[in-house]
Amino acid sequence: MKADFKMSQPSATSFFSSAATLRQPQITQYAREKSPSEIRNNSAWHIAPNLFQSFKYAWSGICYAFVTQRNFRIHTAMTATAISFGLFLHVNALGMAIVALTCALVMVLELLNTALESVVDLTVGQSYHELAKVAKDCAAGAVMISALAAVLVAGFIIAPPLFAMVFPV
Ligand SMILES: Nc1ncnc2c1ncn2[C@@H]1O[C@H](COP(=O)(O)OP(=O)(O)OP(=O)(O)O)[C@@H](O)[C@H]1O
């Protein structure tokens, strides 16, 4: 079924290789004649037909990261813990918003890190490439910085009321 569908669609590779043979004026002409959605529809293997299907794909990406990435599971557990403590300690709305946004940032970056790793692996496979290393290390660095920021935010917002509860004066 998948193969039949693929056969009936122009492949991304053929689209880009034919685009690569175009000279600059031809590319400008092509871009003028085709709308961005037409260009995308010609290059994508499959386009989500409706909003519900888009949500389904997004959810399957989140599930994939949860199942395959240990770090994503740790970030999810940390997010649940931070939000639970925030609610339990009656942290104010602004504090909760900052905690939620910081936790979301870490999880979003971990998802992007996973996406980037997949694209790099798709591109270079199991061969070593210095640029593959740069791409993966930088993406991992982005996750690490956001996780450190999340620890700081938790230290500023959740730790004080927690200590006050555990060690009342
Ligand atoms: N094709 C490659 N070429 C060069 N170095 C690579 C390549 N693939 C991976 N590496 C190096 O190995 C490290 C780990 O790569 P891997 O794909 O296992 O990521 P990961 O351990 O799953 O990362 P994370 O824990 O952030 O999910 C990368 O950060 C990079 O330094």
Q: pLDDT tens, 71-113?
A: 999 999 999 999 999 999 999 999 999 999 999 999 999 999 9
pLDDT of residue 44: 78
Distance 82 CA to ligand 1 centre (A): 29
pLDDT digits (tens, 9 = 90+) for 120-166: 999 999 999 999 999 999 999 999 999 999 999 999 999 999 999 99
Closest residue by Cα to atom 9, ligand 1, is: 133
159 lines ligand 1 (CB under 6 A): no
Closest C-alpha residue for ligand 1 atom 5: 133
Q: Within 10 Å of residue 99's Cβ, how many Cβ atoms?
A: 22
Residue nearest to atom 3 of ligand 1 (CA): 128
Which pLDDT band, with edges at 50, 70 and 90, does 11 fall under?
A: very low
140 lines ligand 1 (CB under 6 A): yes
168's tokens: 């009342």
168 against 144, higher pLDDT? 144
Residue 21 clears pLDDT 60, i.e. is over it: no
Is residue 117 lining ligand 1, measured as CB closer than 6 Å? yes
Closest CA to 137 of 145, 125, 148: 145
CA distance 38 to 35: 5
Of 126, 128, 146, nearest to 138 by C-alpha is 146
Tell me, what's the pLDDT at 112? 98
In this predicted structure, which of 14-18, 34-38, 71-75, 152-156 has the lowest mean pLDDT?
A: 14-18
* Residue 18 tokens, joined: 């034919």
pTM for the whole structure: 0.80
Spatial CA neighbour of 153 closest among 85, 90, 82, 93: 82
